[in-house]
Structure formats: structure tokens, C-alpha cells
Amino acid sequence: MGNTRVKSGKSLVKLLLSPGALLYILMSLLSVVKCDDRIPKCSFTQSCIRDASQKGTPCPDPTNTETPIAQVGFPKMPTTSMKYLAEACPYMVDQELCCNDDQILNMYNNFKTIDSLFGNCLICSINLKRFWCEYTCNPYQFYFLESHDQIRVSDVDYPVLNQTMRIDNEVACGIFESCKKNPFVATLASGQSAPGFLEFMGSNAVQTGKVKISFQFSSNPEESMIKDMYACDMEVGDKLEDYDVANCTCNYCEQACKPNDINAFPAFFDGFSILVVGLVYLSLIILSVIIFFIKKKWQSDEDDDDDDFSEDDKLRKYSQSDSSSCQDSVKRLINDSQQHNASYGKINASSDPTDSRVQDSLMK
């Protein structure tokens, strides 16, 4: 019995040490642990417009830039723009990047628009900033961003750089899901899906960055931008990726709404202060109550005046009316009596003479 177990153990060891088994184990390990042998490399660059006297100085106007050019290069450490990088992309500080000082200052300036449009949900705002930080500065930019030739588009009178960006679909959906309840996104015709929202951002870059970006979806980590995006209902503290942050509310984050929550202020009131709206309604109610009591007081005063008139003046009116009627009746009676007497006298004067004779005979 013991010899049988020993033989079985030896057979198993021989099997595991066979060339075929060792090759299988090695291939399995290589499939799990795969080294990234990519060399950090950049795809394009951009500079601010300077006159001859401004050469070598920091960007004089971050809104006035040259059209970007396709240029393969290597990441470098920023020099004069570190404080702007710490504001725009704080998680990228202290590393070599594909963005130069001019690009960082331009990006910092453009992020003010993101804050004004998407600041009602800071997680959405942070996702958008991280997206543009990766697009502009990622040291492996060359592998997910293809820069082609400069082209002309109908909307502007200057050339723009034509680019194709490969992006993981989870990144696209993560950005869209965190921002889709934002009032600005809700008003966009293209803001109803992740591809539509990306298309809007790519087209809008014509004005903000003088580039036109087309998007392709790919989950291959070697050829697409893969960066975790944060859900807007995520519980956060004071910082997220070194950005200042706060939790998003149900008004601007669909996932943050509980099943039984009722949004007391629908989209019409989005952007308004709840305190201001409440004070306006309270003022209207108080004003309505004051007007009601003023009208009621006026009506009461008018009714009192009517009562005084009916008690004094009406009696006088009725007594005058009765006296007048009585006097008229007396006058009519007097007139009737006078007319009757006059008629009676005439009758006596015009009586037949035979009547007097009859009277005389009767007296005899």
C-alpha cells in the first residue's frame, strides 16, 4: 500500500517536470504578467503666438495660439508653468509630460469654462479635466492619438489639426454618465449618448484648441487611452486626484438619486438657489395675505357707512314721503268737496218751478 503511494507521487513529479508541462506553465505566466515595453512618446505640439520681441518669454496670451502641428517627440519636464499644472492637472506634477509650458497655460485657461459649465457636479468636472489632461500631456500620447495634416473646416477661417483618438468605451461611458444630468449637456442634441457627447467635445475643440478630433473605440491598453473615470455618486472627501471635490447631489447626478427621493426642484430651477426661490415664494404669500386683509377692511368701512345712512336718513326720507302723501290726499279731498258744493248749488238754482208750487200746496 505504501509502495503504491510512493510510485504515484514519483509519477506526478515526473509529469510536472516534463518539457511540455514546463512550457505550459511558462506560457501561462507570460499571459498573466506582460511587460509594457512601450517608449514614452508624443504626437503633437502647440505654441502661443509671439512677436519678435516676445521670443523666449512665457505665453503672452493663452487664448491666442498657433495651429498645432503633428510632431513626434519625447516627454519633458515643464519649466515655467508648474503652478498652472498644479491647478489644471495636479496628479501629473513632478513627471515628464508631452505638454509644453504654452499648452499647460492654454489648458489652465480653458478649464475655467469647464468650472463654469460643469461645476454643479465636481466629479463630472474632474472627469472632464482628467480627460483633457491625458489628451494633452500623457507621456504615452503617441500610442492612442494620431495627428494627421492640417485641414480647413467651414466654421473658422484658420487651419486646424486633424486628429484621431482611440479611447476605451468605459472611459467614454464614465464621462458621459457622470455628466449627462448637467443642464448644459441635457440641452445638447448630441448629449443623449456617450458617442454623441464625445463628438461634441471633438467639434468644440476647433474653437478652443484649433484641432478637430475624431474618436475610435478600442479596449486594447496598448493603443487606447484607458483611465478610470469616477462615478458621480461616489462618496468623496475633500480631495479627489488632488482636486478639490464634494459629493454630487441628485439634481445633477442620476445615480445619486435614491428610489424614493422626490426632486422638489425640477430642471427648471436647476442653477437657482433654493434659499432665494423659497424667499420669493414666502414674500408672495405674505403680500397676498396683506392685500386680502386691506380689501376686507375697506369693505367693512363701506358697510358701516351704509348702516348709518339707513338708520337716520331713511326714517327722515320715509317721514317726508308720508307727509307729502297725506298733504296731497287732503288737497284732493278739499278740491272734491268744493267741486261737490258748487255742483249742488247749481242744481238747486236750476230746479223746476213746479217744485216750489208743490211745496206751497203742502204747506197749506
Domain ranges of the chain: 42-47+60-256
> Comparing 251 with 16, which gets the higher pLDDT?
251
How many C-alpha atoms does 142 have within 13 Å on its Cβ side?
14
Residue 244: DSSP 8-state? E
Q: How confident is the model at residue 308 (pLDDT cuts 50, 70, 90)?
A: low
Q: How far is CA 37 from the centre of its chain?
A: 45
Structure pTM?
Answer: 0.63
pLDDT at 306 over 50: yes
Counts of helices then strands in the chain (DSSP H, E): 11, 7
Residue-wise pLDDT tens digits, 198-251: 999 999 999 999 999 999 999 898 888 888 899 999 999 999 999 999 999 999
CA distances from 259 to 199, 254, 255, 262 (A): 32, 11, 10, 9
For residue 237, the 8-state DSSP code is: -
CB 180 within 8 A of CB 254: yes
DSSP string across 182-234: SHHHHT-TTTTSHHHHHHHHHHHHHHHHSEEEEEEE---TTTSB------TT-
| Each residue's pLDDT tens digit, 251-289 | 999 999 987 654 545 555 555 556 766 787 888 899 888
Q: Residue 80 pLDDT more than 60?
A: yes
Three cell numbers at 269? 430651477
Mean pLDDT confidence for 187-202: 87
Q: 257, 2, 249: which is closest to 122 by C-alpha?
A: 249
d(CA 297, CA 180): 54
